[in-house]
Amino acid sequence: MTELKNEFSWSKTRDEVFKTCLRQYWFAYYGYWNGWLESAPERTRQIYILKNLKNRYVWAGEKVHECIQRSLNNIRRGIKVLSIDEIVSITLDQMRAEFRSSRLKNYLKNPKTCALFEHEYEIELTDEQWKETANNVETCLKNFYASDIYDGLKSHPKDEWLEVEEFSSFHLDNTRINLAIDCAIKEGDEVYLYDWKTGESLSEDLSVQLACYALYAMEKWQVHPESLRIIEYNLSFDKSNWFSITHGEVDNIKGYIGGSIKDMQSLLVDVGNNIPLEEERFGKVEDERVSLRCNFKRVCKPTLETGS
């Protein structure tokens, strides 16, 4: 079997981690590599496990996205979608099973099972707080399946569907740029991209994300940025925002992405093979708030008081 290679790529998420804490960036994109192998050193395996941790809000968002993805793909294939009550019941049952598995820390033996941040760090939460997480999932699902957006999506013929919940990419100056498309529909000369949100607030700065969508649409579907319509739908509050972008805005963000790539690659000893400098060259931030949010606190424990 060919050995997997850790190839360099760029994404909005990677850029955000890079700007937040370089040591966290090293853990998330280099330190974990090969941690899934049985022969992996103990610390590497631990980093891999910690990389896969998710807090309850991210977990809830993933479950909502999974439900929507399944329903929309069924619509594309002409399969009847379950009732909302059935969807909610099945989802909550799955969450209960994943919660129990995580609480038992089964992920320590099988890193691909559900691993919740709150269980790894033994954060005390009341039953009511966990119930709020489940209630938010139920609210998001009920809002989506009762929405005009869902009704509109159901009406599109098969040949107008482009993508549903796919991890996509395009290339910018020979670097692969990764992004996730929740749903893409083509209607006439226009492409509609939908982005499902389950957090408490709508995004404030979408400029980089919008530009990545536009660059991808230009490469994949030969769509001009001005023909792109981006709809961000916040499922928690049943509110949607519409966005558009121009060629000029896209060109500006291309420069930002190029600069970010150069900054990241300045910490590589071998750019062609994506080999980083030693771990110590990736400094920790002096911000306790970042430290408390970092999944990798355990492997940074000796210096937790002064960095992430």
pLDDT at 295: 79
Domain limits of the chain?
19-152, 158-262
Residues 6+ positions from 101 with CB-CB distance below 8 Å = 107, 113, 114
Q: Each residue of 233-250: pLDDT tens digit? A: 999 999 999 999 999 999
pTM confidence score:
0.90
Instruction: Give pLDDT tens digits for 104-136.
Output: 999 999 988 999 999 999 999 999 999 999 999
Dump pLDDT digits (tens) for 23-47: 999 999 999 999 999 899 999 999 9
Q: Say whether pLDDT at 91 is over 90.
A: yes
Q: What is the pLDDT of residues 157-211, one digit of tens each?
A: 999 999 999 899 999 999 999 999 999 999 999 999 999 999 865 556 688 999 9
What is the C-alpha separation between 256 and 240, in angstroms, rounded? 27
Q: How is domain 158-262 classified at the CATH fold level?
A: Lambda Exonuclease; Chain A (3.90.320)
